[in-house]
Amino acid sequence: MNKILVAGAGGFIAGHLVVALKNRGFLIRAVDKKPLNQWYQVSAGVDNLVLDLTLKENSYRAVNGCNEVFNLAADMGGMGFIETHKAECMLSVLINTHLLMAARDCGIDRYFYASSACVYNSERQTDPENHGLRESDAYPALAEDGYGWEKLFSERMCRHFSEDFGLVTRVARFHNVYGPHGTYDGGREKAPAAICRKVIEKELDGREEMVIWGDGHQTRSFMYIDDCIKGIQDIMYSNIKEPINLGSSEMVSINQLVDIVEGIAGYRLKRRYDLNAPKGVRGRNSDNTLIREYLGWEPSIPLKEGLKQTYAWIREQMVRDREMQKTNTADDKHRH
């Protein structure tokens, strides 16, 4: 039976991937540098290891004894993190470098690399009415500073390891992914989770105003986690040799995203726009022509449906945390 390494397994997407692969009957080795109590999901019956894969010896230890590698490990987050931690994002190149070397030397059958839509030429993303980025739009290269350049370079490494050493590599360019069991506060969260959190905070506190980064007209597409997990597996076991988009083509503005979340919450807010906040490119959407040709499929879970699940999960966490805080405060008062 195949044993699969999932790198970055303590993160949002990879945590869901571990669950899906385990449910298919695979043996899993799950690796992340975070302590286990900080993983978003920890699966029982899995070989869970805490290792920093930027170190070469740890990458070899992780890969040894496995047949396949899914590399989703990276130091990253939403725009608030990417735009202020460019050097840290670029250091993730060490993870992919060492995992590729270990995959070559340990005889790995297949290697999946999680890239990003941040590899795309920024000059093709200046219009909010973006009609969709095609895979060829990554060149001539003008990627997102830091994070995007690291992803583009690592894509090329996968390609050349295939050409020079015969390693079977698959690369998917993730567009924004959201869903339960993800980051929703602390600075690394992406727009859907951040908007859900802001609306829930205001609702619970009875406030009437929320801050939106940018002017609200910037556009994105958002892919629900279930579509992402299906796409990862389908691409890994396909014959797709070039990097390919994995994202929804349902584009919305940030204002429209807020509208949807407010509709789910049944709570309307006044909006204050912070034009100095990190906001990324002006317009980004996924052209899914190629994935439809290859797989006869594309991510299709409607944003409203995915946001209902995401909103409910985040609200549950926030209410629970507030109740625990109240209990702890009451206990402290009682002790004193």
Active site residues: 147
**CA–CA distances in Å: residue 31 to residues 61, 279, 287, 301:** 10, 31, 32, 29
Among 262, 172, 159, 150, CA closest to 216: 262
Q: How far apart are CA 235 and CA 245, in angstroms?
A: 10
Spatial CB neighbours of 324, under 8 Å, sequence gap ≥ 6: none
Q: Which amino acid is at 149?
A: W
